[in-house]
Chain A
Amino acid sequence: MNGRPSPFDRAVRACQWAIAGLTLVFITAIVLWIVHLIRTAWRLGDVASASIGISLVAIPLFLTLLGVGLSVFWGLLRGGDRR
């Protein structure tokens, strides 16, 4: 045992990071989309208040969900020493 992770373990870890990365991309895309809709409404003078009102709830909600997901991902990978 030289302590180096096996190719299997490296592939597993790469996939796990990919899942976390995709989650981050997904939530970032939704937040950017909501921001884009606010900007569009603002630019067109198109009841921007509705967009802002919903965004004030939606954006923090998505970010909190992302935070919970990533904290579990990070916490499990760091706290997973063999008993």
Chain B
Amino acid sequence: MPDPSLQRDAALFAPIAQTGRGFYFTLVVLGIAILWGAVAYWTQFEYGLGVTGLQQPVSWGFYVTNFVFFIGISHAGTLISAILRLSKAEWRRPITRMAEVITVMVLFIGAGQILVDLGRPDRMMNIILYGRYQSPLLWDATSISAYLFASTIYLYLPLIPDIAILRDHLGKHRFLYAVLAMGWTGTPRQQKILNRAIAILAIMVIPIAVSVHTVVSFVFSMTIQPAWHSSIFGPYFVAGAIFSGIAALIVAMAVIRRIHRLQAYLKPIHFRYLGYLLLVMTLLWFYLTFAEYLTGYYGNGPEEMKVFWSKFTGPFWPTFWGMVALNFVIPMALLVRLQHHAVGKTVAASACIVAGMWLERFNIIVPTLSNPRLPFPETMYWPTWVEWGETAGSFGLFILFYVLFVKFFPIISIWEIREGREVGLKEVEERLLTYLPDGTEPEPARRHTKVPT
């Protein structure tokens, strides 16, 4: 790194420039998980869904749970990043890219779950050729495609100045970086184009993200199955998605901070602020869960109550009460005071919430299918090694994608950190003055913004 101006942020280049034994060890561990998933899928492909625990009437189990869970986690990135960008939250700078990468990587894995769930993948083209647009499943396909495309561009555009830095200074993978840098040299015209596109996307991506999880909830709520046919499912799913997304982001931040020694960039204050957001989302999740269950209980419909009691005291009580403990009780205890040990507390709470939100998705899907409105006897669902393998493989693949991204691109936006130092401080001061009674309105902040190269 001969350029002295880049020396200051050398830690951000280190994961790309150097490859330690830990990287290869991680690849081996993830490779084993992915191999297990591949063997599981091959077995299912060869013998059909009979090798899984799926049966009538529980035709959706781990796969659809994983689908809803992964799509929910995807709200970590683009949505949170866009909100923080638009609200000019200066503390966002080291975390936005980490969040955006989660979104793009996890959307691929989430969408893939539907393909894995197909009993006859050889007939997949029929969905494309003869799909019916009154089915919420196709609304899902449309909104997820839009979100994936928007999130990919939204990840890529702010990455361009950093790729140009790598192209000019790293000395390896030069062809790859030259292609992806799109001829970036940091001219004022290029900066203007890029800033305008990022601003447009930040606005566009918020309604798209909200629509995605609303539409995912429609897959359930548009049916008249007990405990699914609810008008608050849309906001309930969106809130849950943001909740699990923030938690996943905090876990990712903690892992990267520790492995790549980025304590100077990811400070306790970042964890504390995200912890406060998480606390608000914990309360919101509890409020919506309470409202959802109280409405069902008060209605006292016979089919609804079968599902209700199967969760509260019946065969699904461990997953239901586990969900309540992991999503509400433990996070509340940990997040209510974050003055000290903010990193440890938020990470512990987030790990609980990630697990708890997976259980929440399971609790929504499986107990209802086990107690359907149609006259089936109550059926239990027990996943086989095939579903466990596919789940392990999916998580392994997601982490592998993430690890490879960190290996090739800066996981913390270098130019945004430099912009924060060179331009952001002045901008914040000017903005603060406008809030005060004797302050004058400055020129719009973005006109001053210069992307350092």
Contacts and interface: CB of A to CB of B under 8 A. Distances in A.
B186 to A, nearest CB: 7
B146 interface: yes
Interface in A37-83: 37-38, 40-41, 46-47, 50-51, 54-55, 58, 61-62, 64-65, 68-69, 71-73, 75-77, 79-83
A54 B131 CA distance: 14
B208 interface: yes
Interface residues of B, number: 36
Interface residues of A, number: 40
A83 B187 contact: yes
A54 B139 contact: yes
- Interface residues of A: mostly helix, strand, loop or mixed? helix
A68 B150 CA distance: 10
Contacts of A12: 175, 178-179
Given A38-B133, A50-B134, A62 B149 contact: yes
B209 to A, nearest CB: 13
Nearest to B177: A12
B197 A54 contact: no
B193 A71 contact: yes
A54 B138 CA distance: 10
Interface of B is mostly: helix
B216 to A, nearest CB: 15
A77 to B, nearest CB: 5
A76 B149 contact: no
A72 B152 CA distance: 14
Nearest to B215: A54
Interface string B194-209: 1001001100100010
B185 interface: yes
Interface in B180-195: 182-187, 189-190, 193-194
B190 A30 contact: no
Contact of B200 (A37, A47, A62, A68): A68
Interface in B63-121: none
A39 to B, nearest CB: 11
Contacts of A33: 128
B198 to A, nearest CB: 9
A8 B175 contact: yes
Contact of B160 (A26, A41, A61, A76): A76
Nearest to A55: B133
Contacts of B175: 8, 11-12
B187 A80 contact: yes
B260 interface: no
Contacts of A27: 149
A25 interface: no
Contacts of A15: 179
Interface in B207-235: 208
A46 B153 contact: no
A46 B201 CA distance: 35
A40 B179 contact: no
Nearest to B146: A61
B25 interface: no
Contact of B185 (A30, A34, A81): A81
A51 B208 contact: no
A83 B189 CA distance: 11
A58 B138 CA distance: 12
A83 B453 CA distance: 11
A50 B201 CA distance: 27
Contact of A83 (B146, B153, B182, B185): B185
A79 B146 contact: no
Interface in B136-186: 138-139, 142-143, 145-146, 149-150, 153, 157, 160, 175, 178-179, 182-186
B24 interface: no
B194 A76 contact: yes
B183 A76 contact: yes
Nearest to A40: B130
Contacts of A41: 132-134
Given A72-B194, A76-B160, A76-B193, A82 B204 contact: no
Interface of B: 128-134, 138-139, 142-143, 145-146, 149-150, 153, 157, 160, 175, 178-179, 182-187, 189-190, 193-194, 197, 200-201, 204, 208
Query: Considering the complex of A and B, which 4 residue pairs feature the smallest CB-CB distances, nearest first?
Result: A79-B189, A51-B133, A80-B183, A75-B193
